[in-house]
A and B are shown apart, each in its own frame.
Chain A
Amino acid sequence: MSKIAITSEGPGLDDLVDPRFGRAAGFVIVDLENMNTSYIDNGRSQALSQGAGIQAAQLVARAGVDCVLSGFVGPKAFQALSAVKIKVVQNLDPGMTVRQAVEKFKRGTVQFAEGPNRGPGR
């Protein structure tokens, strides 16, 4: 597994994890081989009345990630991520930084989700 996406309140490793997936402020993309990071802004999701989770799944799929780390992932987003074989780690602790989430992932102390942990949004 080489690239992961973490839902984030800002563009850097020291920003806080955003617990929301579809309506996260953005996604920090981390290449685990060289720890290079990039950022995808998700501000557009605020303009969507529905389908934010699906759009977010499209954004991270285009970035070529293998896994998403977040707090809550809804059913449609989960279905979209599963369709393109992106794994999901959810229930990240609130208050955690993106860096801490990455370290936790690298230690292998995370569980891949088998289903969404949140009811449908709109």
Chain B
Amino acid sequence: MIVSIASGKGGTGKTTVAASLTRVWKRPLVAVDLDVEAPNLHLFLRPVIEESGPAWIEIPVVDESRCTFCQACSELCQFKAINVLGSVVLTFPEMCHGCGGCIAICPERAISPGKRELGEISRGRAGSTEFLMGRLKIGEAMSPPLMRQVKSRLKDMICASGRDAIIDAPPGVSCPAVNAVMDSDVIVLVTEPTPFGFHDFKLAWEAFAPFGKPMGVVINRAGIGNREVYSFCAEKEIPLLAEAPYERAVAEAYARGRIIADLSPEFRNIFVSLYAKIFELAAGTLLMEAPHA
């Protein structure tokens, strides 16, 4: 089972929840940091990195001696990464999303794949948990192509070992966030009960609901803000999987790179219960609690 931990607003506690879940997960597990623009799960899990290497994106290389300037590639490319102007072919590799469409559509087979470095993929181990992380190069904008490669590695690891996976997703609701959650079996949305948290939570719920995947919410920093997110979840029948209280001790532990589930038996129990509810949510046996909005 693949569980993605996502949110609309950044800084609501995705990594806090993901790291804590690895502590209470009973089955063999891969922890994956798919927030390739700013990976930070490793700061908490402190894995031993066993393997690390560059990740590439496939870009077009044009043999102009074979090009008839038919513009098929230029018309196909939605990102203006390959352009025919008169009898000149201009490519902009940094704008290429690596779909390979131009290579496939060229009737003269004048385009071949070249490569451009996007970032790095690292694999390691934190105790019994396997660890996988993508890290985009600074200044690079192409997150999804790197994320796809991390996910492909994850698939190999899961197929080989039958492990579950927890994905620490990037914030937001655009392509990177959607890419992180689209292949998971369960989506856990982490939010905080503030107006800002609620606003972005709604966006995330609207963006991910069309996938039709089991989706639940974890409310972090419970006790601050207002009850809007509780009312919304009750109305839309979005199950509340866990609440983590707003406490100074949590912020102190986080700042030291400690995992919240390790703070106390009370905090650990929040995540033990969350673990159980994630499986009930996936199996469709989770009972909706009476709304307490």
- Encoded as 1 (CB less than 8 Å from any B CB) or 0, chain A from 89 to 109 comes to 000000000000000000000
Are B92 and A76 in contact (CB-based, < 8 A)? Answer: yes
Task: Give chain B's interface residue range (CB within 8 Å of chain A).
Answer: 10 to 19
Q: Cβ of B90: which chain A residues have Cβ within 8 Å of it?
A: 54, 79-80, 83
Q: Cβ of A80: which chain B residues have Cβ within 8 Å of it?
A: 83, 85, 90
Q: Nearest residue in B to A120 (C-beta to C-beta)?
A: B94
Q: Cβ of A51: which chain B residues have Cβ within 8 Å of it?
A: 79-81, 92, 95
- Encoded as 1 (CB less than 8 Å from any B CB) or 0, chain A from 31 to 51 comes to 000000000000000001111
A50-B95, A76-B92 are known contacts. Are A84 and B86 too (CB-CB below 8 A)?
Answer: yes
Are B85 and A58 in contact (CB-based, < 8 A)? Answer: yes
Are A54 and B86 in contact (CB-based, < 8 A)? Answer: no
A57 within 8 A of B: yes
Q: Nearest residue in B to A75 (C-beta to C-beta)?
A: B92
User: With A and B bound together, what is the CA distance between A51 and B85 in angstroms?
Assistant: 14
- Encoded as 1 (CB less than 8 Å from any A CB) or 0, chain B from 41 to 56 comes to 0000000000000000
A48-B80, A50-B80, A51-B79 are known contacts. Are A57 and B85 too (CB-CB below 8 A)?
Answer: yes
CB within 8 Å of A: which B71-106 residues? 74, 79-81, 83, 85-86, 88, 90, 92, 95
Instruction: Output the least CB separation between B180 and chain A (Å).
Output: 20
Q: Cβ of B85: which chain A residues have Cβ within 8 Å of it?
A: 57-58, 61, 80, 83-84
The total of Cβ contacts below 8 Å across the A-B interface reads 34
Instruction: Output the least CB separation between B75 and chain A (Å).
Output: 10
- Encoded as 1 (CB less than 8 Å from any B CB) or 0, chain A from 60 to 84 comes to 0100000000000000100110011
A50-B95, A51-B95 are known contacts. Are A84 and B80 too (CB-CB below 8 A)?
Answer: no
Are B80 and A83 in contact (CB-based, < 8 A)? Answer: no
Q: Nearest residue in A to B94 (C-beta to C-beta)?
A: A120
Are B83 and A54 in contact (CB-based, < 8 A)? Answer: yes
Instruction: Output the least CB separation between B29 and chain A (Å).
Output: 36
Q: Nearest residue in B to A54 (C-beta to C-beta)?
A: B80
Are A54 and B92 in contact (CB-based, < 8 A)? Answer: yes
User: With A and B bound together, what is the CA distance between A55 and B141 in angstroms?
Assistant: 20
Q: Cβ of A49: which chain B residues have Cβ within 8 Å of it?
A: 79
Q: Cβ of B79: which chain A residues have Cβ within 8 Å of it?
A: 49-51
Q: Nearest residue in B to A53 (C-beta to C-beta)?
A: B80
A50-B79, A50-B80, A51-B79 are known contacts. Are A61 and B86 too (CB-CB below 8 A)?
Answer: yes
Q: Cβ of A84: which chain B residues have Cβ within 8 Å of it?
A: 85-86, 88
User: With A and B bound together, what is the CA distance between A83 and B92 in angstroms?
Assistant: 13
Specify which of B79, B80, B81, B83 lies most central, judged by the most chain A CB atoms within 10 Å of its CB.
Answer: B80
Specify which of A50, A55, A79 lies most central, judged by the most chain B CB atoms within 10 Å of its CB.
Answer: A50
Q: Cβ of B92: which chain A residues have Cβ within 8 Å of it?
A: 51, 54, 76
CB within 8 Å of A: which B89-125 residues? 90, 92, 95
Q: Nearest residue in B to A81 (C-beta to C-beta)?
A: B85
- Extra inter-chain contacts (5) besides given A50-B95, A80-B90, CB under 8 Å: A50-B79, A58-B85, A80-B83, A83-B85, A83-B88
Contact surface of A with B, Cβ cutoff 8 Å: 48-51, 54-55, 57-58, 61, 76, 79-80, 83-84, 122
Chosen A-B contacts, 13 in total, with CB atoms closer than 8 Å, are A50-B95, A51-B80, A51-B95, A54-B80, A54-B90, A54-B92, A55-B80, A58-B83, A61-B86, A76-B95, A79-B90, A84-B85, A84-B86
